Each structure stands twice: as structure tokens, then as C-alpha cells.
Amino acid sequence: MKNKLHPTEETERKQLQCLRKGDKKAFETVYRKYVSRVYNFFLSLLHDKFAAEDLTQDVFLKIWERRADIDPDGHFEAYVFTIARHMVAQESEKRLRAECLKEALQMQKDCAGGDVSTEQFVEAESLRAYINILVEQFPPVRKHVFLLSRVHHLTNREIARKLSVSEKTVETHLYRALKFLKSKLGNAK
């Protein structure tokens, strides 16, 4: 005899089946259910609200991109937090590499009497210039949203208020901006 699911479990199972098929309302329901918990998870481990916001959006982007792989009969919460834990590990590794590079550059600077190698300086400036060129290619609103987020460090809510748009619109602009940059920077390697 088949075990009966609790009504809330049955509801979530149906939501996940709809999500697998690309239903955006089902995605929004799942997003609302888990977004604050995922954000708080990142914030508690990284102690950085900007990184927590970015990584939270990345978790849900990954869920949407891999929606066809979701098992409606599986434990979805564990799936969500497995993605989040993986992203924390990646972010921690990235921060560690950045810190090691910073220390190495500082040691080199100290040993060389304060000079950073010309090659490293040129590479950093070249990358910065290329990113600026790419940002200039954004549509005007997307560029404005991106700069308010990444340069002025405003939250999505603050940007939405400032521009009189929804937070979802801000998230969409940031998602598209980052996707564009990642694709261009990935091709530049």
C-alpha cells in the first residue's frame, strides 16, 4: 500500500512537478519559500550581505537552469542547501585565493621596494578596462542597475526604490548583466 503524503508535502510535490515543466509561478512559490533561509545561511557563514545576496540569486538561478533534474519525490530542501553549501565552498576558496594573491603581491612589493610587477599591473588594468567596455554595451537601465549594485553597493531593494521598479526587475537586470559578463570573460581566456 502506498504511503499517503501529508497535504503540505503533496502540495510541494505538485509545485516541483510544475517547476520541472518550466512553470514560472511554481518557481516563484519555491523562491518565496526558501529565499530568506538561503540568504541567512550565506550571511551566517560569509558575514557579507552583498555576497549573500549574490549567492542567493545564484542558487535560484541554478535551480531554474536545472529544473528538469529536480526529483519531486526527493527531499527538495536538501537539494537546495546542497547547492548552497557547494557555493559557499567555492566562494571561500575564491576568497582564500584572493587573500593569498594579495599577500604575495604585498610581499613582492615589500621585497622590490614598493613596486608591483609591471606585468601584473598591466593585466589588472587590462581586465578592468575590458569589463568597463562590456558594461558600456549594456542597455541604459541595465547599466545603471549594475553600477548602483556593484559600484555604489546598493541592495536590490534600494535600487528598486531609487529607480521606481520592482525588486524582481532589478534582479533580472543583474542576472542578465552578470550572465553577459561571464560569457564574454569566459571567451576571453
CB-based burial of residue 43 (10 Å sphere; 0-12 exposed, 13-18 middle, 19+ buried)? middle
pLDDT, position 1:
45
The x, y and z cell numbers of residue 148, run together, are 548602483
pLDDT digits (tens, 9 = 90+) for 57-66: 999 999 999 9
Rounded Cα gap, residues 55 and 170, in angstroms: 15
The x, y and z cell numbers of residue 152, run together, are 555604489
pLDDT digits (tens, 9 = 90+) for 58-87: 999 999 999 999 999 889 999 999 999 988
pLDDT, position 113:
55
Q: Show Cβ contacts of residue 155 under 8 Å, excluding neighbours closer than 6 positions.
A: 49, 53
Which residues of the chain carry a pLDDT beneath 50? Answer: 1, 189
Count other Cβ atoms within 10 Å, centred on residue 116: 13
pLDDT digits (tens, 9 = 90+) for 13-36: 999 999 999 999 999 999 999 999
pLDDT, position 109:
62
pTM as predicted: 0.54
